[in-house]
Structure 1
Amino acid sequence: MMGIRRSTSDIISNLPSNIMENILKYLPLRDAGRTSVLSRRWRYKWVTLPQLEFENQFFVSSGDTEKIKAIICRVLLLHQGPLVKFELSYPPFGSCMDIDNWILILLKKNIQKFTLRLFVGPNHECPCHLFSFLQLKHLNLRKCVFKPPPAFKGFSRLVDLNLLYVHVAPEMFGEFISHCPLLERLRLTHCSEFDSLEIYAPNLKDFTFCGVSKSISFKNTPLLAVISITLLSYYANVERHEEETDSEWVKFFQCLPAAIEYMHLDSSFLESFPAGHLPVRLPSTLNHLKVLALSDICCYILDHVSRALCLLRSFLNLERVKISMYDDDDDDDDDDDDVPQRDLVVEYLEAQDFSLKQLREVKIRNFSGAKSELHFTKILLAHSTVLEKMEILHYPGISDEVRVMMLDELTQSPKASPKAEVVCKPLDLDL
């Protein structure tokens, strides 16, 4: 029995180094440190970890703020060898000099993935030595001030940039991006306001923007396949001539590369182009576009409906359409102010003559059951020749009786595709 016991105790001590490293790699940082008590071979093995991640679980179990800062500093000073990834996410403190000191310690570590996500306090101004991480491939910042020094030549190896609530200098950002030649993924969310945002990134494949900008254009992005634009403020009230209106709408889609496969646009982006005469189809066909997602579309606003259908008519190879509805109208027939709007939309929809020959799946979220939404949905059914499934996700507050009535009305409406199946079920608000 003693021999068996010794043999069992030796197993964990005699593990190959690569197995020990893999075990440590998947442990939370605090647990990795505790492995020092296992045996002499495990003692301080954790200090060679290729990644240090200080996130929620670490902060919950580490005590008060000053103790947490002392632990982080000690861990960084003890660390030996290369460090590929460093993450500090949502600490219970905001901007402070300690962060700059930690970044200074990391200078010799050849960091490739750097994440700093603050939650409280003012934005933290990134120190100039952050821009000396020349091996950097992934940069993720939250609540920071991003201001590269004038002599900075860019991150030549950066492939992923994610900025959330980050203050950037709009006049320098486009030039900064052009100095990151390998950039593949760019996400800008709630950052500084841009008068115009020009993207020059020959390897960019995925672009997400949620913020304020009068215009967005792509100068050299031949590989761009995924694009998502949500405007938090738009300039629909700016006076322009109708011919300028059309050219701005057309100009945006003309600058999009042909490689795009997925596109998401929200209603405020559609509204950013003043009302005017839309072309029947856009001159840019985007033949590789398979999925179109539109959010916050209000079916009793003619501009929303007309622009949505313009996009559907233009992209001939669309296979999937996802629409998130928005409706602040109670659809009361006695509301004299809304009846003319609904009548205009119905008249416009009934005048449409087009065919969606590749569309196979439609998913509509936030469906309220308003008549304008039902009419829009019927138009899609009537013009999609190979449609296989239309999924309606309605608000949970809709009664079973109303849901059955909606489903019956849609099921009995004319369909261009004999295979079209209509499914109507409650929206899961937790998703």
Structure 2
Amino acid sequence: MSIEKLISSKRQYSLWHCMMPPESKKHGCQSLPTDRLSNLPENVINSILMRLSLRRAVRTSILSQKWRYKWCKLPQLTLDYDLWVETNDLLSLSIKFTKIMYHILTLHSGPLTKFTLSISALKKFPKIGSLIYFLSRNDIQDLVLEFSKWNLYRLPPSFFTCSQLRHLTLQNCVICPPPAFKGFDMLNSLNLRDVTISFKLLESLISSSSLLGKLVLKISDTSNHIQINAPNLRSFDFTGCIKYISLGNVPLLSKLSLSCQESLKASEKCDFDIFFQLLPALEHLYLECGTVQFLVTGAAEVPRRLSSPLNNLKRFKISLGGLVDVSFALCLIRSSPYLQDIEIEAYDLGCEPVPTTNKVDEVFARFSDVTLNHLRAVQLEGVEGMELELQLIKLLLTKSPMLVRMLIEPSTSCHDYDKRRDKILAELTTIQPASTKAEIVVFDEYECYRDTM
């Protein structure tokens, strides 16, 4: 019998009735299926309870004396908005939250390795300082703190004594550590979203975390130069407004995602050839809208290839916004001899003036000798049937002898959608793919055209 059914049946039967042996039927006693959960090992029961919401886990305390305090020993707790919106009482969220905090601080026993607190709906944060002090004393290893953007929370001194932290996520916090703070020695992943922190301190926090393997930064305010020095960093995801990013010491970085939104006037000159030279282990590269312009600012011309090839790059995703973006994408594709998977978002190509046929031909002529001997999958989204897009499709089809599948998703935002789709289909019939096994799929929400060449 599941925990949910046991809780429900408790309203009508005692746990004694739930656990009565079959022989009791001979005496006319009504019984329910045997409770097999209570005798499970403690680590198994904890695993079950941690898959429930905290409210439901606490409700198991009504089952019996044996179950009364099992939730108090859970090593992982999650407090989010769902915890108190399920109730129908009229207490304010702050009062409900205060009551919950009181029970956790007074009843929880044993280690607490993972704690999630997401309270963006609250305007006041009572007892948060006491809670964080409690976590620091319990050797917290995985901590998530998410507050409201309308009321940033200043982290207390006790937060910076959480010496056992392995994974940390902060949202809408003010980070201002005491002078004696030297970083988190055990930190493996760091996720900072809309936090208030000086760039000098941010760089110090990253560089002092020698074991840091995963870094996520979301910065809404315009930022200056940020330098990333993390010798064990393997994944870096950046979103925000910034003038320049310097990846100084990241020899193991294999996954890089950039969504840089700063205007070109404010961006500093970036030598993207040197930028990629510092990423010898790169395997996955995702460049969102605006990032190409951020990287090529100040460049006289996009080169045909990088001076150092990206020999480990397997997957490449990019958002295109014009002819320069296409040239940049072709440069990276040409410099990645072992590329296997390409995903292109073409939603912004119509934002710039349509390039003349001569300019398009000139760009693709520079890359006519591209060979993609390992490319197996291509996906193009938001295709409008422009000459620039059709030339790109043709190049990828004719230069990829190992291609297995190309998926083309036409843009649905065009007023002459049918005409543009037909143009794409007509163009495909004139192309002879280099691969004899290539499957071309043109997909939209109305119908799907397939062709195996």
Q: Give the TM-score of the pair, scaled to structure 2.
A: 0.83
Aligned partner of 1:159 in structure 2 is: 188
> Is the alpha carbon distance of 1:413 and 1:14 closer, same or farther for their aligned partners in structure 2, counting shifts above 3 Å?
closer
> Is the alpha carbon distance of 1:9 and 1:306 closer, same or farther for their aligned partners in structure 2, counting shifts above 3 Å?
closer
Structure 1 residue 233 corresponds to structure 2 residue 262: yes
Q: Which of the numbers 157, 167, 180 marks the counterpart of 1:138?
A: 167
> Is the alpha carbon distance of 1:12 and 1:315 closer, same or farther for their aligned partners in structure 2, counting shifts above 3 Å?
closer
> Is the alpha carbon distance of 1:359 and 1:95 closer, same or farther for their aligned partners in structure 2, counting shifts above 3 Å?
farther
> Is the alpha carbon distance of 1:6 and 1:18 closer, same or farther for their aligned partners in structure 2, counting shifts above 3 Å?
farther
User: Partner amino acid for 2:325?
Assistant: H
CA–CA separation in structure 1 for the residues paired with 2:31 and 2:117: 41
CA–CA separation in structure 1 for the residues paired with 2:171 and 2:255: 23
CA–CA separation in structure 2 for the residues paired with 1:190 and 1:223: 24
CA–CA separation in structure 2 for the residues paired with 1:172 and 1:239: 21
> Is the alpha carbon distance of 1:237 and 1:344 closer, same or farther for their aligned partners in structure 2, counting shifts above 3 Å?
farther
Give a deviation string over 1:31-84, Cα, whole Å, max 9, x none.
Answer: 111111101100122111111101232132145313322232123221111101
CA contact (8 A) 1:231 1:269 kept: yes
Structure 1 residue 74 corresponds to structure 2 residue 89: no
Aligned partner of 2:7 in structure 1 is: none
When structure 1 is superposed on structure 2, of 134-143 and 270-279 the one drifting more is: 270-279
Report the secondary structure of 1:76's partner residue.
Answer: helix
> Is the alpha carbon distance of 1:112 and 1:401 closer, same or farther for their aligned partners in structure 2, counting shifts above 3 Å?
same
Aligned partner of 1:325 in structure 2 is: 346
For residues 20-419 of structure 1, the aligned pairs below 5 Å read 20-62=45-87, 63=89, 64-77=92-105, 78-94=107-123, 96-235=125-264, 248-256=271-279, 258-272=280-294, 273-295=297-319, 297-298=320-321, 301-327=322-348, 329=350, 338=353, 341=356, 343-354=358-369, 355-396=371-412, 399=417, 402-419=420-437
User: Partner amino acid for 2:75?
Assistant: P
Report the secondary structure of 1:329's partner residue.
Answer: helix
Report the secondary structure of 1:292's partner residue.
Answer: strand
CA–CA separation in structure 2 for the residues paired with 1:389 and 1:14: 53
User: Partner amino acid for 1:361?
Assistant: A
> Is the alpha carbon distance of 1:17 and 1:280 closer, same or farther for their aligned partners in structure 2, counting shifts above 3 Å?
closer
Give a deviation string over 1:253-310, Cα, whole Å, max 9, x none.
Answer: 1111x22110111342221222412332101212111011112x03xx3211211111
Where structure 1 has 5 or more consecutive residues not aligned to the other structure, the ranges are: 331-336
Report the secondary structure of 1:363's partner residue.
Answer: strand
CA contact (8 A) 2:385 2:423 kept: no
Q: CA deviation at 1:8?
A: 4.6
Report the secondary structure of 2:48's partner residue.
Answer: helix
CA contact (8 A) 1:126 1:146 kept: yes
User: Partner amino acid for 2:334?
Assistant: R
When structure 1 is superposed on structure 2, of 357-366 and 376-385 the one drifting more is: 376-385
User: Partner amino acid for 1:205?
Assistant: R
Report the secondary structure of 2:94's partner residue.
Answer: helix
Aligned length: 412
> Is the alpha carbon distance of 1:239 and 1:259 closer, same or farther for their aligned partners in structure 2, counting shifts above 3 Å?
closer
CA contact (8 A) 1:128 1:149 kept: yes
User: Partner amino acid for 1:324?
Assistant: E
Report the secondary structure of 1:156's partner residue.
Answer: coil
Alignment root-mean-square deviation, CA? 2.6
Aligned partner of 2:13 in structure 1 is: none
CA–CA separation in structure 1 for the residues paired with 2:145 and 2:357: 48
Identical counterparts, % of pairs: 36
CA–CA separation in structure 2 for the residues paired with 1:326 and 1:27: 41
Structure ID, larger Rg? 2
CA contact (8 A) 2:260 2:290 kept: yes
CA–CA separation in structure 2 for the residues paired with 1:7 and 1:396: 57
CA–CA separation in structure 2 for the residues paired with 1:382 and 1:95: 61
CA contact (8 A) 1:76 1:105 kept: no
User: Partner amino acid for 2:378?
Assistant: V
User: Partner amino acid for 2:386?
Assistant: A
> Is the alpha carbon distance of 1:24 and 1:339 closer, same or farther for their aligned partners in structure 2, counting shifts above 3 Å?
closer
> Is the alpha carbon distance of 1:255 and 1:2 closer, same or farther for their aligned partners in structure 2, counting shifts above 3 Å?
same
Aligned partner of 2:12 in structure 1 is: none
CA–CA separation in structure 1 for the residues paired with 2:40 and 2:421: 61
CA–CA separation in structure 1 for the residues paired with 2:188 and 2:223: 23
Q: Give the TM-score of the pair, scaled to structure 1.
A: 0.87
Q: CA deviation at 1:168?
A: 1.7
User: Partner amino acid for 1:422?
Assistant: I
Q: CA deviation at 1:401?
A: 6.1
